[in-house]
Amino acid sequence: MQREVLRAFRFALDPTQDQAEAFTRHAGSARWAFNHALGMKAAAYRQWRREVQELVGQGVPEAEARKRTRVPVPTKPEIQKHLNRIKGDSRLGGLPKGVLGPERPCPWWHEVSTYALQSAFVDADRAWQNWLDSLRGARAGRPVGFPRFKKKGRSREAFRLHHNVKQPVIRLASYRRLRMPVLGEVRLHESAKRLARLVDRGQAVVQSVTVTRGGHRWYASVLCKVTTELPERPTRRQREQGRVGVDLGVGHLAVLSRPLEPPDAASAFVARPCHLRKAEHRLAKAQRTLSRTQRGSARRGRARRRAARLRHDVVTRRSTVLHTMTKQLATRFAEIAVEDLDIAGRTHADREEPGHRMKRKAGTVRAVVDASPGELRRQLMYKTTWYGSTFAVLDRGWPSRRTCSACGWQDPRLTLADRTFHCDNCTLTVDRDVNAARNIARHAVTIADHPVAPGRGETQNARRASLGPTGPRAGRQEATKREDTGPPAGTVPPQRSDPLTLFTPIRPDHQAPGRYGPAGQ
């Protein structure tokens, strides 16, 4: 089945010194434009708060004051029109002699592409809307806080350029050169033959390009609308392999319920490369060198680039391993099942006993971050649609490690130190992680059959509530990653949970936020 999908092609760039300076200039202008737009929105929000407080001071109930107060929050068109009136022009000099007025905010606008500023305004609108949607519980995923200003040296250097697809300006001049507005032709570090052939055949249309800096390199992500053939069902090879359960952990990157290579049983255990631990010594040395330098010195700049390059190498190696593994899973099996892990809880510090076993906890957190189970799940979710396989998720509260994969008996005495599962009911003896992977493969629920909260594939909205209908489990506390410590359940396997009935929708008791200022703040 042919479908149009958005797909990004990422290339490393080899810019000249002048082009690298132009990249930095565009990234700085995009950061300034985002802060400018966010500042105007925050000013409108503060004015709305002041007017609400004035009405409350006059004896008006707060709920009524929120409904009566109307302060429009400017969006991209208004912000852009206002900037065009006050931006100035460095080519014409400053203000005319004898004319008093505010300082022109961006007289350098003609040095960068206008699309870099416009895309930053769009990003500010999206950040503001995400915060509003999160306040009223309409956005899937984790809660989103108030948008923050971007600071030079702390935020990532990036900018995005658009063009008219009917009169394309962003295009490949050759297999090794990418043309962008204002910036001209930039040499690619790798070949773009695959993208060029898609464009020549009319199967891909370039929509935009995002230029980002990672470590010592600049990267260009070319977003294209691609007409591709998406398989409607798995291949014969995938159907023969069937469903596989993937148990993610820190001892191994993943343990599979069945091996990747059927003759080799050891291929069910995917080793964790430990990229961060291998680079710890060099990173620590680079950070010590950086801490001894003086701010603003050239030596500090070299030390900072050295530390950034080492961290970028770790990220690149980790990404390569994850992409290789997820593609193997998506192309070899008909269905991939994983467990809904509480990754944020695993990497969160213990608030009750902050000084208790901190060294051990810090090592566990580093191992979880280095394994990146959340990124692995994200890649599996979209790659399964590319290669005809399906994706399934096991409920977070299901005791996969304590339950026997053969008969369903639960071991209440199993601890983290026990690496082998022994079933007292059917005498099964198997590796603990393999047993968990088999349970995941057997009891996971296919996402395609049970739609969850809309948005970006999350199972909960910002208030950690289901957006689907309520069920028999409505009113219960949210399930967390835990193991059942109750008595053995006998020979009957535990019932799996329906993700649609896990959580109770929480209705906010305040007015839903809107364009005229968020209520409840």
pLDDT in tens, 484-508: 333 334 333 333 333 233 223 333 3
**Residue 205 β-bridge partners:** 225
Cα 292–Cα 295–Cα 296 angle in degrees, nearest 5:
135
Q: What percent of the chain has pLDDT over 90?
A: 54
The residues that bridge with 514 in the sheet, in sequence order, are 517
Structure tokens at 395: 């409920």
Residue 336's nearest CA partner among 228, 234, 231 is: 234
The pLDDT tens digits of the residues spanning 418-444 come to 888 888 888 888 888 899 999 999 989
With beta carbons less than 8 A apart as the criterion, state whether 141 and 458 touch: yes
Average pLDDT estimate for 140-148: 89
**Model confidence at 96, in pLDDT bands (50, 70, 90)?**
low
CA distance 422 to 437: 15
Which residue has tokens 């208004």?
Answer: 78
Element containing residue 167 per DSSP (H, E): none
Three-class SS state of 243: strand
Our measurement of the distance from residue 418's CA atom to the centroid of its chain's CA atoms, rounded to an integer in Å, reads 34
- Residue 125 reports pLDDT greater than 70: yes
The more confident residue out of 366 and 443 is 443
pLDDT value for 23: 97
Q: For the chain, what percentages of helix, strand and coil (3-state, to nearest 5) are there? A: 40, 20, 45
Q: Which helix (H) or strand (E) holds 301?
A: helix 298-332
N- to C-terminal Cα distance for the chain? 48
Beta bridge partners of residue 160, listed in sequence order = 210
For range 324-331, the mean pLDDT? 93
Position 456 scores a pLDDT of 41
Q: What is the distance between the alpha carbons of residues 515 and 167, in angstroms, rounded to a whole number?
A: 35
Provide the pLDDT for residue 452: 39
CA distance 136 to 48: 18
> Per DSSP, what are the bridge partners of residue 330?
none
What is the bridge-based pairing of β-strands 335-339 and 243-248? parallel
What stretches of 252-297 show up as alpha helix (H) in DSSP? 275-278, 280-291
Q: How do 243-248 and 171-174 pair as beta strands? A: unpaired
Tokens for 180?
């962008």
pTM of the model: 0.78
* Residue 86 confidence (pLDDT) above 80: yes
DSSP symbols for 8-42: EEEEEE---HHHHHHHHHHHHHHHHHHHHHHHHHH
Q: Is 467 exposed, middle or buried (0-12, 13-18, 19+ CB in 10 A)?
A: buried
Least confident of 14-18, 32-36, 291-295, 508-512: 508-512
Q: How confident is the model at residue 347 (pLDDT cuts 50, 70, 90)?
A: low
Is the Cβ–Cβ distance between 146 and 59 less than 8 Å?
A: no
Is the pLDDT assigned to residue 517 strictly greater than 70? no
Contact 31, 152 (CB under 8 A): yes
Q: Which residues contact 383 (CB under 8 A, 6 or more apart)?
A: 326, 327, 330
Question: Span 10-22, mean pLDDT?
Answer: 96
At residue 161, the pLDDT reads 96
Residues in Cβ contact with 214 at an 8 Å cutoff, skipping those fewer than 6 apart: 312, 315, 316
Confidence of residue 264 (pLDDT cuts 50, 70, 90): confident
Residue 467 has pLDDT above 60, yes or no: no
pLDDT of residue 475: 37
